[in-house]
Amino acid sequence: MSENEGSLPQASKRDVGGTSGKGPAEGPARLAARLGAGKGWQETPVGFCFRTFRRTVTETDLVNFVTLAGFNEGLFMDATLFHGEDGASAAETDAESIPYEKRFVPGALTYAFAEGLVIQTGMLQGMGIAFLGMELTARAPVYVGDTIEVEVEVVQSRPTRHPDRGVVVTRNTVRNQRGQVVLEYRPARLVRSAKDKPGVSL
């Protein structure tokens, strides 16, 4: 037995495997919260806030996204709008023929990455039932090389007529590496009740 294992509390030893090396634990099955389960709607009251990790948007992200989604628009596909054919930057060439100094990404990509960052927090893991809709406003462009993060604040949390679910509305504010707000959206989600958090029989 290792030193760390020897210092593990007895209750934790039972929880880790549900066995003691002699087969399944005896007695009635217990239901424990599944590791990584998110929060029920009652656990996210109005005013509850959190912040995601960050993600840098790369040119590969841009190319993959516009190709997969079919955003075959010159603004996203034509690099000469941002750099001259000889590699000169827009600032070194005719400003009228090349109106953009840096290559930017679709607002849809910014939104998709923001939602991904929110989901990666685990807040919705196993608890989300449905996406009900949202309001979205683009505040500023996001460029290749920018780094984004999301600040989330619950602005509505209420039960529905079904006791096993509720509606949670959040204000999601997306900021770049300079702290500038680039996107704001308010998604409404149908979320399971905290008492229905997924578990596993031990």
How many CA atoms, within 13 angstroms, populate the side-chain half-sphere of residue 113?
26
Residues 126 and 165 in one domain: yes
* 13 domain-assigned: no
**Do 41 and 52 fall within a single domain?**
yes
Clarify whether residues 114 and 186 are in a common domain. yes
User: Are both 168 and 79 inside the same structural domain?
Assistant: no
Are 73 and 135 within one domain? Answer: no
Q: Are residues 91 and 143 in the same domain?
A: no
> Is the domain of 133 the same as that of 40?
yes
Question: Do residues 142 and 157 both lie within one domain?
Answer: yes
25: in domain: no
Between 83 and 46, the higher pLDDT residue: 46
170/84 same-domain check:
no
Averaged pLDDT, 77-96:
59
Contact call for residues 189 and 168 (beta carbons, < 8 A)? yes
Instruction: Look at residue 127 and tell me if it is in a domain.
Output: yes
Average pLDDT of span 46-65:
95
Query: 149 lies in which domain range?
Result: 35-57+105-197
Residue 98 shares a structural domain with residue 185: no
State residue 73's pLDDT score. 86
CA distances from 31 to 8, 9, 195, 197, 200 (A): 21, 20, 12, 10, 5
The total domain count for the chain is: 2
The per-residue pLDDT for range 96-152, each reduced to its tens digit, is: 555 667 888 999 999 999 999 999 999 999 899 999 999 999 999 999 999 999 999
Indicate if 42 and 130 belong to the same structural domain: yes
CA quadruple 173, 119, 56, 79: dihedral, nearest 10: -90
Do 50 and 65 reside in the same domain of the chain?
no
Mean pLDDT of the chain: 81
- pLDDT at position 62 over 90: yes
The string of pLDDT tens digits covering residues 158-181 is 999 998 999 999 999 999 999 999
